[in-house]
Amino acid sequence: MQITIPRARLRVALFAVMAIVASAGLAVEVLRPIVGLKRRSGVVPLLSLSYEQNVPTWYTSSLLLACSLCLAVIAVGARRAGGFVKHWWILSAAFLYISLDEVVELHEEASSWIELGGAFYYSWVIPAAAVVAVFAVVYLRFLGHLPRPTRNRFLLSGGIYVTGALAMELPLGYWAEQAGSNNLGYALIDFVEESMEMLGVNLFLLALVDHLAVQGWTIGFSQAAPEPQAAAAERAP
């Protein structure tokens, strides 16, 4: 028996879950001052997009891990086809790292290297932006070899993710320095940032799934066929 997941249903499921996670995170922040929800316990730290190691964090980390696995599968296929194998593997490793970083916040350590203020209150964005710029230059030829629809989807999803993860840290950092992080304004800016990250990763994952489909891969679950004697016993009255 084989159960295959149609790509259309996968797309609907991914965006539905994203909408639920993002909406729940926004709702608890909006309702917190209205109904007096506790900030250190209960649903706020569990669902808020401004907290770490909670439902939104694990959700995004799982998506990034799924991207890493898809990239690894594509890399295996690229080895047979002889096309940009190292690039696919490096992408897979990068997404694996980002998935881990989403949970343990390794990037926050970079803020201690440079102490700035204002929009660069979260100064880790400076080395991160440099890494992204180098990555973009190195991968120009790789992007050029991709089919145009796949390349456009990669660029769109990557642009959305980077805008959320890096660019939105600038107004978030400015607000945090001026007004602190324990307020609705901070939560709303962070909601936009995290939602853009989720959207970017979802779009990239769907682009990878479609790329795998072009290569003949399908997403499904299979069950080993029963032994002939067992199958005959099941059919017997």
- Which range of 78-92, 184-198, 208-222 scores highest in mean pLDDT? It is 184-198
Buried b / exposed e over 36-74, threshold 16 CB at 10 Å, is ebeeeeebbbebbbbbeebbbbebbbebbbbbbebbbbb
Estimate the crossing angle of helix 184-214 against helix 7-35, to 10 degrees: 170
Q: How far is CA 83 from the centre of its chain?
A: 25
Q: What mean pLDDT do residues 152-175 have? A: 96
Q: Exposed/middle/buried for 119, CB within 10 Å: 0-12, 13-18, 19+?
A: middle
CA-wise closest residue to 118 among 179, 178, 42, 202: 178
Cβ atoms of 160 and 194 within 8 Å: the answer is no
d(CA 116, CA 86): 36
- The confidence score (pLDDT) of residue 171 equals 96
Estimate the crossing angle of helix 55-81 against helix 184-214, to 10 degrees: 30
Instruction: Give pLDDT tens digits for 56-86.
Output: 999 999 999 999 999 999 998 877 655 789 9
Residues constituting the chain: 237
CA-wise closest residue to 132 among 164, 108, 176, 174: 164
DSSP conformation class of 190: H
Q: What mean pLDDT do residues 84-109 have? A: 87
Q: Could you tell me which residue, 217 or 193, shows the higher pLDDT?
A: 193
